[in-house]
Structure 1
């Protein structure tokens, strides 16, 4: 009975995370990880979430790939990959709780300012993607929060929902593949991880599908507001979980 309730709870969490991912093109790991990490061993939860994240991103990109801007994405990816090892080293130097608290507070502040109508448009987006990618890589290497910096920047630039979803999804797919490769090399893709992923894929699929259908009802303005609320929620959750 307990194992059945446990499985149902995991399915519900993954479906909800999938819905948010399908709707905004980010947020799956931010929602799924805190819950799954409390229900299954952390060493299994992390690779399961990354593998499911890859599946969600592949689903989203099938309908958005035409809007991917490779000229901007490659700069973002390269900057992130170069900064990720520094982020891992940063985690060794700084207290993880302090790092999460500061990051969460910063994300909430920027998201709140944008919700209140304060934006700081950057004219040279291609150049700006370098520091954005580096910040994303630093956070990915230290506390696995690569999505919010990119999402905040795209929102600040008032990027249309199609371009927003396409670019952040393409970026996430590359990071997912590289991360899964490192997990495979490190022997983290165990039979338990693969089995757990297979059990949760159907609920993830349903959630993402519902999110993709729901996004069609939102215009660019409402999409931007929704994305900012999700970003701010992730920052608040980061602070609360740390406390």
Structure 2
């Protein structure tokens, strides 16, 4: 049963990554926490997210805003160590509670079309928050999604810059996780088994994107995120 759930999680997260632009980790991490221990769930997500970033980076490298990406990376240098300290000092229920709250707040703010104005200082802050989110819960996306949700920046530049930053932040977070939290065979075996599913999901997502209204996918994503957030909150308190 867990294998079936794992297959569904990876496929849906990969399809939504391509179809809606939502980060793979935002969809996958909460569900992976339900079937793996925290360290394994986060590291499996980091491995697969890194593969996705590598697979897609060649297509969008021309759209990267290197100035913004540099500021994101500078900010993340402060956030990464903070995140690993959080991960090493909280228990699994606290982690699930934190992830659940982040997911619910993110979903509500996205549905309300939260607005924030871009600036170089905010680039650094968002990079720091994203770094701490990645090394603690494996999810760099929430701060960046909120930051860009109401921006007038071209979608191509947002996608390219974000993906390039993800390539850096996932690699650094995975290294930090392995060094300070250790790793296990389960992480690498599960990650290897999931790679074909990720590639299939990215392919299917590209096909679906061409003929299904993206608005429907966003509503579907809100429902998934909302239900997952509520479930994690209930489980962490129960």
TM-score past 0.5 threshold: yes
Structure 1's unaligned 5+ residue stretches are none
Contact 1:44 1:193 in 2 (8 A): yes
Distance 1:231-1:182 versus aligned 2 partners, 3 A rule: farther
Please give the per-residue CA displacement for 1:156-198, whole angstroms capped at 9, x wherever unaligned.
1033332222122111111111122224435844433222222
> Residue 139 of structure 2 aligns to a residue in which SS?
coil
Deviation at 1:17, TM superposition (A): 0.9
Give the structure 2 partner of residue 238 of structure 1: 229
Contact 2:78 2:128 in 1 (8 A): yes
Distance 1:111-1:200 versus aligned 2 partners, 3 A rule: same
Q: How does 1:48-87 map to 2 (within 5 A)?
A: 48-87=44-83
Structure 2's unaligned 5+ residue stretches are none
Q: Measure the CA separation in 2 of the matches of 1:32 and 1:55.
A: 14
Give the structure 2 partner of residue 103 of structure 1: 102
Deviation at 1:25, TM superposition (A): 4.1
Contact 1:15 1:203 in 2 (8 A): yes
Distance 1:201-1:141 versus aligned 2 partners, 3 A rule: closer
TM, length-normalised to structure 2: 0.78
Q: Measure the CA separation in 1 of the matches of 2:48 and 2:135.
A: 19
Larger mean CA deviation between 99-108 and 203-212 belongs to: 99-108
Q: How does 1:88-237 map to 2 (within 5 A)?
A: 88-89=84-85, 92=89, 96=95, 99-100=98-99, 102-114=101-113, 119-120=115-116, 122=117, 125-186=119-180, 188-215=182-209, 230=221, 234=225, 237=228
Please give the root-mean-square deviation of Cα atoms over the aligned residues, in Å. 3.2
- 1:34 matched to 2:30? The reply is yes
- 1:47 matched to 2:43? The reply is yes
Please give the per-residue CA displacement for 1:70-99, whole angstroms capped at 9, x wherever unaligned.
110110121022123234445648955664
Deviation at 1:138, TM superposition (A): 3.4
Number of aligned residues = 231
Deviation at 1:14, TM superposition (A): 0.8
Larger mean CA deviation between 84-93 and 47-56 belongs to: 84-93
